[in-house]
Amino acid sequence: MSKPVGVLVMAYGGPASLDEIPGYLADIRAGRVTSKAILD
């Protein structure tokens, strides 16, 4: 038998454009900057 899996789904809205993604990610990550490698 496999272990149970839990999924938490939360609605944060989303960025309206690609230019807003870095700010959006910083907002949902408590101000931590997302590395450039992830954003590329």
What percent of the chain has a predicted confidence (pLDDT) above 70? 98
Per DSSP, which regions of the chain are E strands? none
User: How many angstroms separate the Cα of 21 from the Cα of each of 2, 4, 6, 37?
Assistant: 36, 33, 27, 13
Q: Is residue 1 part of a domain?
A: no
Domain containing 29 equals: 11-40
Are 25 and 34 contacting, i.e. CB atoms less than 8 angstroms apart? yes
Residue 29, both tokens: 């990550």
The predicted-structure confidence for 20-39, as pLDDT tens digits, reads as follows 989 888 888 888 888 888 88
Q: What is the pTM of this model?
A: 0.57
Q: Is residue 18 part of a domain?
A: yes
**Which of residues 39 and 16 earns the better pLDDT score?**
16
Q: Is residue 6 part of a domain?
A: no
Taking the C-alpha atoms of residue 40 and residue 27, their distance in angstroms, rounded to an integer, is: 18
In one letter, which amino acid is 15? P
